[in-house]
Structure 1
């Protein structure tokens, strides 16, 4: 029996979207309850590698994060019906570890995403921070506010400091949202313990995934309706741009949500062929 779509959790406010659009970065403290944070930390600690991809298929604790209410509403506000999980991964950065990311931005390098989408990100990276980052140089994420529209950075592919850089300091359970084009790197870990965190990246369904070529059908069959859809495992290539009927709508409208397309289509037009405005469109945020 196919379950009905649920209401999407809340996401951006006008104020938080404006901050995100300006800085390319948003911090939500205490996004996770301390018990959930502890469970996720334990799930990372039992892994035998410092980093891994497609983690949602490897542990039930990570599977639950595919559509976690703490973040999925933000991604849905940007991508709406086309929402897709593009990548999931964990990091364990040990003290003294020399291998760390240099200045870069996420997404394609030769022709960045902003060439095609200057007003909204084509990927949003959701980060969950499981260990305390109360000071600098504890394996912190370093970023330059507002740099998501910079095509070039002199410090690119180095660890050289930038006068506008910020090191993220956070409590365990904090969540961050990062615009795909934001210039960022990782600080050294001179602390006393490993930095543990999770990343989940979302974008429109027609973007290629970057952590998997496909998923195990048996694993997919055990997912909830929403999680199965967000994985976007289709056999027909055209389904990534023209969604299958059974996957529309992804979410039911939120209470009080306006329908800009009401009355624009006759009954002969199937729901999967009708436009459904995103939160950004409905609120004039583009």
Structure 2
């Protein structure tokens, strides 16, 4: 096999080491203004669709009575409702970091749209993800991750108390939490804050990467509605979080890479494909051009080139920040 040329760039050794030690990476300016505007349009459309009862994911007991919360709108399996989110799932500047952390057997486990309104109470208590099935699973973070999330910020959260993501660096290596651990963390938060916690101050277009085992919460929001995506990734042999299998109408027209990341091996698939895919490096090397999914109003405003492959900057155009409250230069 000849050399495989990818449309994405790997993370550097320093970035991977930082992720392993701290449990997160804050990638600044990953998406440009045109892409931010596309994301905002997707959020607004998804929120309207949910209000009309078009949610494709049934309620689950672990959702913490979200339907009664006026401050939160959360749309799961968003790619099945808002096809344009494929643009972000298949974007080279997100694929590169995710392949670096998880490997070529990349699987989209979930795509979520978040709208967090103004509320003086904390939006999310301290927790880690994965539920009991994963809480006790500990891995060597100097090697491949088990799962990772990408939080894409579409609105300003650079000031405190604006629905900021809160995290504790290094907490992804802590022992499995007990109910009393969780209660103690949230007692400390109510009393003024958890020692060592970092308030993530993000600009639109920034992306935060973190594993399932990182302790995190979401602060109160007294400033303006916060809009974001959370894209969840794992390995091809993982079960997704918000879909069983994507129907053909969702998969049609997507790149081979994104279809593969959504668990599709075609009609001639074999159960072993999920563990030992024979062509994954080739399939993952190049994604699709989703300019045709961009609304005409945005194409007119920004120009088609702002959304096509020619607009995808090289890795050197974005910076990694370690959580300092001072934003890196844009």
TM over 0.5: yes
Q: Is the 8 A contact 2:122 2:218 kept in 1?
A: no
Choose the corresponding residue for 2:168, options 144, 147, 160.
Answer: 144
Choose the corresponding residue for 1:178, options 207, 210, 214.
Answer: 210
- Judged with a 3 Å threshold, the aligned counterparts in structure 2 of structure 1 residues 246 and 138 are, in CA distance, closer, same or farther, namely same
Equivalent residue, structure 2, for 1:24: 23
Equivalent residue, structure 2, for 1:57: 80
Equivalent residue, structure 1, for 2:116: 93
Q: Distance in 1 between the 2:175 and 2:236 partners? A: 25
How many residues were matched structurally?
A: 247
Q: Distance in 2 between the 1:250 and 1:131 partners? A: 33
Q: Deviations over 1:219-278 (max 9, x none)?
A: 2122111111111135654332132x565633349xxxxxxxxxxxxxxxxxxxxxxxxx
Choose the corresponding residue for 2:149, options 121, 125, 148.
Answer: 125
Unaligned runs of 5+ in 1: 254-286
- What SS class does the counterpart of residue 215 from structure 1 fall into? coil
Could you tell me how far 1:112 is from its partner in structure 2? 2.7
Q: Deviations over 1:58-108 (max 9, x none)?
A: 223201112211211111123323111111101100001758321111224
Given the alignment of the two structures, is residue 220 of structure 1 paired with residue 257 of structure 2, yes or no? Answer: no
Q: Distance in 1 between the 2:141 and 2:14 partners? A: 20
Could you tell me how far 1:134 is from its partner in structure 2? 2.0
- Judged with a 3 Å threshold, the aligned counterparts in structure 2 of structure 1 residues 40 and 250 are, in CA distance, closer, same or farther, namely same
Q: Answer with 93-102 or 62-71: which moved more.
A: 93-102
Cα RMSD for the two superposed structures: 2.4
- Greater share of helix: 2
Q: Is the 8 A contact 1:57 1:63 kept in 2?
A: no
Q: Deviations over 1:169-215 (max 9, x none)?
A: 11111111112210001111111x21000011111111111010111
Q: What's the TM-score once normalised by structure 1's chain length?
A: 0.78
Q: Answer with 52-61 or 132-141: which moved more.
A: 52-61
Equivalent residue, structure 2, for 1:103: 126
Choose the corresponding residue for 1:190, options 215, 222, 226.
Answer: 222
